[in-house]
Amino acid sequence: MKLKLAVLLAGIALATAVPLHEPSRDNHGAQVLRVKVTDLADLTYFAYLQSRTTLDFWTEPRALGEIDIMVRRWDLPMLKAVLLHRKLQYSIHIADVHRHLADMKEKHLQARTRAGDARMSWDAYYNYDEINAWLDSLAADYPSIATVTDVGTSYEGRTMKLLKLSTGQAVHAIFTDGGMHAREWIAPATVTYFIQQLVAGDGVGLLDDVDFYFMPSINPDGYAYTFTEDRLWRKTRSPNPGSPCVGTDPNRNWSFHWMEGGASDMPCSEIYAGPEPFSEVEMRVVRDQLLVLRPRVYLTFHSYSQLWMYPWGYTTDLPDNWEDMHSLAIAAVAALTAVHGTQYEVGSSSNTSYIAAGGSDDWALSVGGSEYAYTIELRDQGQYGFELPENLIIPTAEETWEGFKLIAQFIGHY
């Protein structure tokens, strides 16, 4: 009886603690636990913990199977007690997050040194200012097809740029963004790889049939923060009045069915949806571009899990044109898999992954006028997670390029 009471109190403490100051981001002693979930009741419990605590779910509690949770040292005893009580098996995936991040930081620095003075390569990860400078250089180097426009400013004052690649002949357009969640470095790297293929690779011919719009990193402040302060930062960097916690989950901040599931009203949660729809200036900037451009295809790149998803995220119901989106996604993933054998799961966000209202793909399909909208969760499935090594940037990007290229070919001709 005493053990059950202690576990109950531990669960309550995890789920109801309201910090009086910004929760410490100290990763000393933090661990990543890989939990095997075999019961829907347990899955629901973890979804509740995600929305009501500061536990950092590296993979969403989306389906029965394994989920990765980063747990800081002060929460470890309570969570392990809860797992024991619920008879849930788990393994320690990363025994010391601080040491792991320190080791990876050194490897990132070495890779960046090896890359030298190259304005952009895919053997290293580049910061926000470097990406912007590279976009500007493309407009100078390829003036007949590349146009860069300053379309907005982030909360902290960083310029947000939109790259257009076009020959002026196309009817249809594809809009692609990345980096919505700051720590997902492989997403901007993959998007910039696509750009390179279109200006100087095997995608040049696609420009006759499709206009391409790119914003490689749409959470500038968060992305910059992962390079200078906290590698695992996910959200934006805007303050929340009345709360010590900073930032909003930008992919819960879009207005279509905002806060109707899979989001949190707690500012300290990693899936905090914000005080209102489009509270985040960065998402308003992207929204405004979509409203003007009305692209036929909207693509947003994230990591990790290897999923190719389409709406809806707010409900398990399916859009009217889901079969068309599903068929095109299946073809894109087949092209992707043919490169290195990497397997992706295809389906609607809520059925493949998890209920998550307020996402950009739902909005693009319903309000933004896109015919096809996809959220792609890139490599891997947890071996490296957010710290995908530099030697896997090109394999990830080149296989995903084949899926991207197939979609562009389809859109250009049908």
Query: In the chain, where are the structural domains located?
Result: 2-95, 120-413
Which CATH code of 3.40.50.1240, 3.40.50.300, 3.40.50.1580, 3.40.630.10 fits the domain covering 120-413? 3.40.630.10
Residue 18 pLDDT exceeds 60? no
Q: Is 349 in a helix, a strand, or coil?
A: helix
- Whether pTM > 0.85 for this model: the answer is yes
The residue-averaged pLDDT of 200-219 equals: 97
pLDDT classification of 131: cutoffs 50, 70, 90? very high
- Percent of the chain scored above 70 by pLDDT? 94
The residue-averaged pLDDT of 142-167 equals: 99
By annotation, the residues acting in catalysis are 377
Residue 287 pLDDT exceeds 60? yes
Residue 279 pLDDT exceeds 90? yes
Q: How many Å apart are CA 287 and CA 282, to the nearest integer?
A: 9
Task: With CA atoms as reference, report the closest residue to 23 among 68, 77, 75.
Answer: 75
Strand partners, 297: 174, 372
Output the average pLDDT for the chain. 93
- DSSP string of 29-95, one letter each residue: T-EEEEEEE--HHHHHHHHHHHHHS--EESS-S-SSEEEEEEE-TTTHHHHHHHHHHTT--EEEEES
pLDDT for position 8:
43
pLDDT for position 14:
57
The residue-averaged pLDDT of 219-225 equals: 99
For 68-105, the pLDDT digits (tens) are 999 999 999 999 999 999 999 999 999 999 999 999 99
pLDDT for position 61:
87
The residue-averaged pLDDT of 216-242 equals: 98
How many C-beta atoms surround the C-beta of residue 203 within 10 A? 21
Q: Which CATH code is given to the segment(s) 2-95?
A: 3.30.70.340
Residue 330 pLDDT exceeds 90? yes
For 368-383, the pLDDT digits (tens) are 999 999 999 999 999 9
- Percent of the chain scored above 90 by pLDDT? 87
pLDDT classification of 1: cutoffs 50, 70, 90? very low
The residue-averaged pLDDT of 335-343 equals: 99
Q: What are phi and psi of 117, to 5 degrees?
A: -90, 10
pLDDT for position 20:
44
The residue-averaged pLDDT of 251-258 equals: 98
Report the range of poorest mean pLDDT among 61-70, 136-145, 178-187, 389-398: 61-70
Residue 374 CA from chain centroid, whole number: 12
The residue-averaged pLDDT of 332-360 equals: 94
Which residues are CB-neighbours of 289 under 8 A, at least 6 positions away? 151, 162, 175, 213, 215
